[in-house]
Amino acid sequence: MRRLHATVRGRVQGVGFRATTRYEAQKLGLSGWVRNRTDGTVEVDAEGDEQRLEAFLAYLRQGPLGAHVDAVEADWGDGAGAPASFEIRRTT
């Protein structure tokens, strides 16, 4: 079990990024969360099989239609017990 923590920069708020991120994570069988940040970025924390997380990271680098991703900062680690489902959390 691996963990991916990512910060997505660009035009990523107000374009359905969180909802489509949750959909992609659920489709891949990942657990974790996504939230908007007050600085205009989107923060993602996901856990699962490394191969599935790599596919998820590829999605984050592209985003949904209407988004423009400038950069994704990704940090990898060992799984730490993310929530059982994939949640959309409140903006911080």
Q: Which residues are catalytic?
A: 18, 36
Name residue, tokens 């069988």: 29
Name residue, tokens 């969180």: 18
Output DSSP code: residue 91: P
Distance of alpha carbon 39 from alpha carbon 60, whole angstroms: 18
